[in-house]
């Protein structure tokens, strides 16, 4: 079999995991732009399997049709991730929803039988910082009520993917789909952790304590990649496929349940970083300030584009108790974390250390 991966330009490791699969003939990676360091990384994998890097737009129908030709599995993880409201709504909806629809149509035309969608925990919520969800599961049918572009677009795209299960392919075959909902993904290259660490390094090593009231169960990127591979293997298996088709799965691992702030500290304390011990505003007050700022933004919109420093959605996301079990993925997909918490922590901590080293070297050059 052969696999097309649509990539987000953050970090992913399906490519590394896939090259270990003996039955794999080719990996195609589709992204809008491949950074030079990523091209170098990919070149190291080429001797193990045929690997093709395709630069193209997820909204370009002809590009998608070409990318899907001769492919047996599509892993669709390309999306615009935005939790701050910094990116235009239209751009997010186009890439996350329309791009997914176009890719599904390309699969039908190119007779690609398996489509695995990388969704997000945000399609389930949290909807309120006062609501507590611990060890949530698929049977609860939780759904985000936010109209904010990112969770809204991902929710609609996931619905489209799951509804596409059973579509008839051009050659008369059948399309099988499923969706994976990872928790907050951490690991080497995570853009959010990178931003927090760099901000702390510019602030005497003090990490922002922006989310001390949250309780979440982050998942290591390598385990998310492994879950995708198990999902595609299950959909290729005639015995397993019927119970997996059209289903979604929460993907977590054995990473400790922590607040986002405490988690950043755990990954960086070895390098001398500390959490800000100062007072923070009550969450309820943060929420209503965000509400007022959103009103101001809306009133100013005809004459001036004002982006609030934080929104109600971000306040809720950063201060909720929201954790999920991977039991269903374990039962249906045979999923068990490939990387232990200790391994994942070591790999991520080493990467954080490289960020600290880069910062120190940059300071030396300035002086």
Residues catalogued as catalytic: 150
Q: In 3D, which of 289, 305, 285 has the Cα closest to residue 297?
A: 305
Where would I find the H helices in the chain?
Answer: 14-18, 36-45, 61-68, 89-93, 99-110, 149-163, 191-201, 221-236, 241-244, 260-268, 283-300, 312-318, 327-333, 341-366
Cβ atoms 166, 245 nearer than 8 A: yes
Q: Which two tokens stand for residue 313?
A: 């959605």
Q: Which two tokens stand for residue 62?
A: 């002809």
CB contact set of 23 (below 8 Å; sequence gap of 6+):
1
Q: Please, what's the b/e burial string for 58-92 (b: 16 or more CB within 10 A of its CB; e: otherwise)?
A: beeeebbbebbeebbbbbbbbbbbbbebeeeeeeb
Half-sphere exposure of 120 (CA within 13 A, CB side): 24
Q: In what order do the strands lie in the sheet with 132-136?
A: 132-136, 321-324, 215-216
Cα gap 143→358, rounded to integer Å:
41
* Burial of 251 from C-beta contacts in 10 A (0-12 / 13-18 / 19+): buried
Q: Which two tokens stand for residue 179?
A: 């969706």
Cβ atoms 27, 18 nearer than 8 A: yes
Number of neighbouring beta carbons within 10 Å of residue 127: 18
CA distances from 285 to 39, 83, 120, 292, 312 (A): 46, 20, 28, 11, 11
End-to-end CA distance of the chain: 54
């Amino acid at each position: 079999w052969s696999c097309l991966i649509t990539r987000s330009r953050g970090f992913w490791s399906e490519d590394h995991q896939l090259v270990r699969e003996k039955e794999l003939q080719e990996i195609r990676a589709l992204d809008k732009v491949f950074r030079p360091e990523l091209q170098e990384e990919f070149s190291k994998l080429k001797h193990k399997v045929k690997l093709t890097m395709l630069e193209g737009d997820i909204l370009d129908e002809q590009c998608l049709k070409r990318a899907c030709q001769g492919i047996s599995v599509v892993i669709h993880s390309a999306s615009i991730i935005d939790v701050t409201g910094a990116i235009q709504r239209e751009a997010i909806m186009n890439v996350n929803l329309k791009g997914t629809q176009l890719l599904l149509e390309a699969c039908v035309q190119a007779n690609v039988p398996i489509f695995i969608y990388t969704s997000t925990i945000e399609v389930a919520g949290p909807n309120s910082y006062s609501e507590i969800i611990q060890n949530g599961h698929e049977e609860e049918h939780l759904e985000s009520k936010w109209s904010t572009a990112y969770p809204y677009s991902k929710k609609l795209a996931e619905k489209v993917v799951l509804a596409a299960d059973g579509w008839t392919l051009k050659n008369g075959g059948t399309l099988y789909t499923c969706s994976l909902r990872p928790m907050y993904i951490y690991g080497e290259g995570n853009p959010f952790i990178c931003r927090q660490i760099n901000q702390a390094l510019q602030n005497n090593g003090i990490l922002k304590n922006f989310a001390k009231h949250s309780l979440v169960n982050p998942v290591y990127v390598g385990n998310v990649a492994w879950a995708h591979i198990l999902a595609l293997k299950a959909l290729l298996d005639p015995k397993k496929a019927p119970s997996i088709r059209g289903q979604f799965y929460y993907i977590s691992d054995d990473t400790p349940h922590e607040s986002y702030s405490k988690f950043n500290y755990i990954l960086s304390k070895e390098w001398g970083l500390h959490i800000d011990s100062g007072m923070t505003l009550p969450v309820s007050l943060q929420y209503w300030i965000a509400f007022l700022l959103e009103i101001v933004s809306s009133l100013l919109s005809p004459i001036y584009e004002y982006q609030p420093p934080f929104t109600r959605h971000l306040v809720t996301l950063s201060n909720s108790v929201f954790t999920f079990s991977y039991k269903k993925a374990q039962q249906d997909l045979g999923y068990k974390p490939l990387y232990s918490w200790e391994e994942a922590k070591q790999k991520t901590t080493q990467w954080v250390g490289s960020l600290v080293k880069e910062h120190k070297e940059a300071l030396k050059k300035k002086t």
